[in-house]
Structures are given as structure tokens and as C-alpha cells.
Amino acid sequence: MVKETALSLTGEQTAEEPVVSFDRGAAVIISVVETLSGNPGVYRMMNREGDVLYVGKARNLKRRVANYTSYGNLSNRIRRMVSETASMEVVTTHTEVEALLLESNLIKKLEPRYNVLLRDDKSFPHILLTGDHPFPQITKHRGARSQAGDYFGPFAAAGAVNSTIIALQRAFLLRNCSDAIFSARTRPCLQYQIKRCSAPCVDRISAEDYRALVDQTKSFLSGHSREVQDDLVAKMQAASDEMDFEQAAKFRDRIRALTAIQAHQEIHIEGVGDADIIALHQAGGQTCIQVFFFRGGTNFGNRAYFPAHDKTLATDEILAAFLGQFYADKQPSPLLLLSEEPAEAELLSEALSVRAGRKVQLHAPKRGDKRAVLEHALTNAREALGRRLAESSSQRRLLEGVQALFELAEVPERIEVYDNSHIQGTNALGGMIVAGLEGFTKTAYRKFNIKGDIAPGDDYAMMREVLTRRFGRQIKEDPERSGSGWPDLVMIDGGEQQLKVAIEVLEELDLSDLAVVSIAKGPDRDAGREKFFLPGKAPFQLEPKDPVLYFLQRLRDEAHRFAIGSHRARRQNAMSRSELDEVPGIGAARRKALLLHFGSVKAIKRAGLADLEKVPGISSSVAQKVYGFFHHD
């Protein structure tokens, strides 16, 4: 258990002292060390603004934290961290395993700048066979496992799940429709016509036979593919021997579908059911970690990660930090095959076992089939990192070109591009995209639903609102402008008037030192003839084949794509709102009950009061409200 009380000590800053220095940071740490015990726990180092610099765990808190006060034994990176430390928080735990689990969770949540950081905001999709219906549905699932049923995965990408589900439908003829559609069917749908479903909705298959198909699917996804395939082959042969060639052809098609799934497996591990293959490759001060997922002996795909870390950090420490954060919100497989042994491997194995509720083994094989699989994963990691380094080099050259073009003081590491979207003023919103040394930073994208009293189609007023809200909030969050959320260049999709609006907003917010430029489309929206507007300078164009022009076009087009996509989603959401949403006292559950009972809003509007009262969950008073809403004068 984690002890609920936490210790927080802060060093006072006087006007005469420098803002940061090693001696000052060490003094803060020494004052904390004097209060610490030798228990396990987690400590957080914070700067003057309260931002967490580093999260660490220790078997012995007093001994571990005291190490930060010895200047000669620290790397330059740690010395900088100590210099910035103005306060610390400490939480004690009962065991070092608990400390490691807490450390991983806090690093993933707080993203301290001096820790190894895994920026992974995507959950992995699974295949779900629902368990709350007589005829289970096969579907793709993300997120918490709140629905009853059997989950298979994780899959590295949504595309892999989609293609696998289609193949499984062909092989086992399971339905993929929702329960509501299932209950409303009166004849087979297109899925039945193209031989992807057995049409249990209209009794084309018995519950017993459908359950047998479900059991075969579970068996196949659990690693017993050979047994399932052998059984289908035997049935096909038996049908053929009985001259039932139509039935034999159906079994043949199902066998082909299963073979198609298995044919997409690039690598295999003999004798291994569930395992995660994790390989680390380092070059140019950057690291790529490839993760392959094997479940039931089947390769469910792979994904590359590029954790942020100090260039001097050892690979075993990077791997250990990655594993802790990667599995902070994911279920580890029973076996992790690693390209090298991570730091504190035994402790990490114990912590992951606690998290999984079963034994998790870490193994770094040196030879044999398992090592061959790791070599394959290492090749993928090496190639992925090579592509990233090449892209980064190219990206930096382009950013240097932007610096020269717009006469910026430094190479821009954060460019923000703004665009608006609306249709005749309706559902208006603004979009902001961010790009830098690593390409597009999609986690930093923002959309702004226009809230002000603005005339329909007034692009200038919309741009004013977007920029005012964006930078007004940034000033509140970081008045000292010491954080990383400030752009080196603001780019507006528009002409001279849009630039004028942007300059006025920035001047009003006392941010006139921010570099701003607008990019106007050429005549007839001709790409390559864009015109650029800068404050105090005449508009100019670039040569059509200039790579910097192409780069800026990409930024502008991405902002346009993001704004249009966000606007379309908002418009569709508005269109999909049901008239039932306007009925007082009708929430999601009652709305669903009415729709399931009547099938459509139109049918609900035609229903009599007595019909409404028959709906499960709809009381007489609620039925009166619904009836009155649709039949008032």
C-alpha cells in the first residue's frame, strides 16, 4: 500500500540569489533528506513554477535522494536538474515494487522533462465477441473492457483488426451488426448475401449451430488454428465424399479465409503462445523501440516508438523506463522477449506480475529461434529509426529555409498554423495545427468553436476570436513565457487583412514580438502561386519548385484539412441530433428504449399515448411528456 501522507518542502527564494544554481538546489534536497527514512517510495523534484522536473523511485529514500547532493558524481543532465529544483514531494510505499508501479504511473501522467518519456496517446484495438446476447456479435473494441464478452488482442493497428474481422466473418459467418439492427431485421442483409454472415437474425441458423461457430472462432483466436482448420478440412472431405459439393464448397471458402489470416504472419515463434517482442535500437542520440504482439501464436502486428530521453542515458535504463510506462495502462503478456536485459529486470518482472495478476517473465535470449525473432524486430527498429533520422534531417533543412525566408532569429521549433471553416456562417470553428522538428505534432492540435456574436461568414472576426482565445489562455497558463507552448512562428491562412487582424490581436495582448505571416492562395487557388504577407514588407512569392514553398503549402493544407474535418464532424453531430433530445425528461436510456420499441422517431411521433405507456422504462408521466411534445398546438 502507498502511504497516504506526502512530504513537501520548498526553499525560499530571495531577491539577491540567482534563480537557479546547483548549491541552491542541493540545499533544498538536503533539507528534504534530513526528514526522510530508509523506506521505499517515490520522490518528485519541482521548479519554482511547480512544474515537475523528475519522478524517481527508491528502495531506500534517504540514501537515494542524498546522492543528488554530490556534485562530482552527477552527470551534466542531473546537475542541471538539481540546479532547477526548488521543492520536492515524497510519497512512501510499503515495497519497492509499489514504488516502481507508482513511479511509472506518475511519469506517464506528469511527463517530467528529465525522465525518459513515452508519448503514447493511443489505445490498442481488440476483437470482441460479445457475451450478453444469445447470438454474439464480432466487433472491434477500444478502451475499457466494460462490456461482457471475450476480448482478443491487442492488435497494433485498426486496419489489422478490420481485415481480420472480415476474414473471420468469411470463415465463421458471425454477425457484426448491432443488437438494435439485429432485433429489427425481417430479412437477411447484404452480409448474408456476400457470405459473411449466417443470418441468425431471421433464423437461417439455429442457436446451437451458431454457438458452435462462436466456439470455433474463440478456439482459432486462442491459438488452436491448426485444430480448427483440420476439422474444417475433414468436414469438407466428408461433404465431398457424400457428393454434397455445394456444402463442400462452403467449407472450402471458410478454409481459404482462415489461410488468408495465417498467410499475413511475417514471423512465427515455435512453441510460444502469448508474447510481446520488444527490440531497442539506438543511433544518432535517438532510440527506436519496436513492439510486436503475439497472441495464440499469431502475429497481431507491430508498432514503433521513439521515447524522449537524455542522449547520455544507457539503453538498459531507457528500456526499463519504457516497459514501466508502456504497461502502465496495458496488460502485459506472460512473456516479454527483449533484445537486451533492462535495468532492474527482476524488480520490473515482479512489478509487471503484480499489475497483470499473474507471472510475467522477462527474457533476453542470446541464441535460437527466439533470438532470430528478436533480430527480425531489431531490423525493423533499425529501419524505422533510419527513416526517422532522415526525415528529421530533411525537416531541419526545411525549417532553416523558413528561418531564412522570414528572417527569424532562430530555427523555428514550433510553428502554429490557423484556418477557419464554416458553411454560410453555420457551425463556424477555427483550427490550429502545430509543426516542428519532428513533423506534425498532432497532440497539440486545437479546434475553437466560434462563440462570439459574429456575423455569418465574417472570417476576420472569427480569426480575431480564435487568436484572442488561444494566446489569452496561454498568457494565463504561462505569464513568464518560460514554457514550450509558445510558437516561434504564427502562420495565418489568408491575405493582408487576416494578417492585419493577427497583428492587432498580438499587439493588444502585448505579444508583438511573436513572428507572424499570412499565406494567400494564388489566382484560381493555383498551388505554387501563393503570396506571402509579412508585417512592414511588400508581399512576395516564391519560385514554384522551391522546397520551402512546398513545405509551407503542406502546413497550410494540413491546417485546412484539420479545420474542414473538425467542421464536418461538428455539422454531422448537429444533424444527427434527434428530436427526442428536445423532450424534457428524456435521457439516453429512455431515448434508446423508445427507439428500440418503435424503430424510428417518425414512428414515435405517430404513436398514441397508450402505445407509449407500453414501452419498458416509460412511465405514464413520461409518456404524457413525449405525447404532449409531439402533439401540442
Indicate the range of 329-338, 474-483, 529-538 predicted with least confidence.
Answer: 474-483
- Is 358 a domain residue? yes
The answer on 565 and 429 residing in a single domain is: yes
pLDDT in tens, 223-268: 676 777 777 788 888 888 878 787 788 778 777 767 766 654 555 5
**pLDDT confidence band for 483 (50 / 70 / 90):** confident
Give the count of beta carbons closer than 10 Å to the beta carbon of residue 103. Answer: 27
The answer on 97 and 149 residing in a single domain is: no
Looking up residue 585, the CATH number of its domain turns out to be: 1.10.150.20
- Is 78 a domain residue? yes
The answer on 595 and 569 residing in a single domain is: no
The answer on 451 and 376 residing in a single domain is: no
**pLDDT for position 503:** 94
Instruction: Report the percentage of the chain scoring pLDDT > 70.
Output: 88
| CA nearest to 405, candidates 507, 545, 557, 547 | 547
> CA distances (Å), 314 to each of 3, 128, 320, 321, 342, in order?
32, 40, 10, 11, 10
pLDDT in tens, 336-371: 999 999 999 999 999 999 988 899 999 999 988 888
Give the count of beta carbons closer than 10 Å to the beta carbon of residue 386. Answer: 14
The label of the residue with cell 512576395 reads 540
User: Is 526's pLDDT higher than 60?
Assistant: no
The answer on 485 and 336 residing in a single domain is: no
The answer on 363 and 255 residing in a single domain is: no
> CA distances (Å), 512 to each of 402, 516, 624, in order?
20, 9, 60
Looking up residue 460, the CATH number of its domain turns out to be: 3.30.420.340
**pLDDT for position 432:** 92
The better pLDDT of the pair 139, 257 is held by 139
- Is 393 a domain residue? no
- Mean of all residue pLDDT scores within the chain: 83
State the burial class of residue 277 (Cβ atoms within 10 Å of its Cβ: 0-12, 13-18, 19+): buried
Number of domains making up the chain:
5
The answer on 141 and 217 residing in a single domain is: yes
- Please state whether beta strands 446-449 and 286-295 pair in parallel, antiparallel, or not at all (unpaired): unpaired
- Is 401 a domain residue? no
- Please state whether beta strands 275-283 and 335-338 pair in parallel, antiparallel, or not at all (unpaired): parallel
User: Is 113's pLDDT higher than 50?
Assistant: yes
pLDDT in tens, 286-320: 899 999 888 877 778 888 999 988 888 899 999 99
H/E segment holding residue 581: none
The answer on 366 and 433 residing in a single domain is: no
Give the count of beta carbons closer than 10 Å to the beta carbon of residue 393. Answer: 11
Q: 64, 86, 110 — which closes off a domain?
A: 110
State the burial class of residue 56 (Cβ atoms within 10 Å of its Cβ: 0-12, 13-18, 19+): buried
Instruction: Report the percentage of the chain scoring pLDDT > 90.
Output: 34
pLDDT in tens, 166-183: 888 888 899 999 888 998
Looking up residue 95, the CATH number of its domain turns out to be: 3.40.1440.10
Backbone angles phi, psi at 67, to 5 degrees: -60, -25
pTM of the model: 0.62
The answer on 444 and 418 residing in a single domain is: yes
Indicate the range of 76-80, 127-131, 627-631 predicted with least confidence.
Answer: 627-631
pLDDT in tens, 374-383: 998 999 899 8
User: Is 572's pLDDT higher than 60?
Assistant: no
**pLDDT for position 218:** 86
Q: Is residue 229 a contact partner of residue 255, using CB atoms and an 8 Å limit?
A: yes
- Is 516 a domain residue? yes
The better pLDDT of the pair 223, 152 is held by 152
The answer on 198 and 142 residing in a single domain is: yes
> CA distances (Å), 403 to each of 340, 391, 426, 517, 548, in order?
42, 18, 37, 12, 10
Q: Is residue 216 a contact partner of residue 228, using CB atoms and an 8 Å limit?
A: yes
Full domain range(s) for residue 430:
414-574
Output 71-76 pairs: Cβ under 8 A, ≥24 positions apart. 71/22, 71/26, 75/310, 75/312, 76/312
- Is 332 a domain residue? yes
Backbone angles phi, psi at 441, to 5 degrees: -105, 85
Which residues touch 80 (CB under 8 Å, ≥6 apart)?
none
534, β-bridge pairs: none
Which residues touch 531 (CB under 8 Å, ≥6 apart)?
495, 519, 520, 522, 539, 540, 541
The answer on 610 and 555 residing in a single domain is: no
Copy the grid coordinates of residue 613.
Answer: 405507456
Which residues touch 162 (CB under 8 Å, ≥6 apart)?
140
Structure letter (DSSP) for residue 71: G
> CA distances (Å), 526 to each of 30, 521, 553, 630, in order?
65, 7, 11, 51
Q: Go through 180-216 and write b for each residue having 16 or more CB atoms within 10 A of its CB, e for each that does not.
A: eebeeeeeebebbeeebbbbbbeeebeeeebeebbeb
Q: Is residue 145 a contact partner of residue 282, using CB atoms and an 8 Å limit?
A: no
d(C-alpha 269, C-alpha 376), whole Å: 12
| CA nearest to 567, candidates 420, 418, 417, 416 | 420
- Is 133 a domain residue? yes
**pLDDT for position 268:** 56
Backbone angles phi, psi at 152, to 5 degrees: -130, 130
Which amino acid is present at 161? Answer: V
The better pLDDT of the pair 62, 594 is held by 62
3-state helix, strand, coil in the chain (%, to 5): 45, 20, 35
- Is 596 a domain residue? yes
For every residue of 223-292, DSSP letters joined together read: T-HHHHHHHHHHHHHHHHHTT-HHHHHHHHHHHHHHHHHHHT-----TT--SEEEEEEEEETTEEEEEEE
User: Is 53's pLDDT higher than 70?
Assistant: yes
User: Is 425's pLDDT higher than 70?
Assistant: no
The answer on 583 and 543 residing in a single domain is: no
